[in-house]
Amino acid sequence: MRTILNISVPKETAAEAKRVARAEGFASVSEFFRYLLREEKRRKLAEELQEQKRTFNKKTWKRLSSLKELR
């Protein structure tokens, strides 16, 4: 199910969004904005994964000798 979301932007911004959407081959400005939101989600996920990798690489984990130690 789709919900309509109205946003207010300056005329120049609206024109730029339309121009970019057309130039990049999007069917509509709405599709272009949905693409931007998906990309933002991907960017945040990539940041989270990088942070987890940095944490893991610090080697601050504890080696367990059995699953009982998980408790």
List the domain boundaries for the chain. Answer: 11-53
Phi, psi of 26 (to 5 degrees): -75, 145
Rg of the chain's alpha carbons, rounded to an integer?
22
pLDDT, residue 50, reads 95
Structure letter (DSSP) for residue 58? T
What distance in Å separates the CA atoms of residue 60 and residue 71, rounded to the nearest whole number?
Answer: 18
Confidence of residue 2 (pLDDT cuts 50, 70, 90): confident
Give the pLDDT confidence of 57-67 residue by residue, as tens digits: 887 777 888 88
pTM for this predicted structure: 0.72
Task: Say which residue the tokens 């009982």 belong to.
Answer: 68
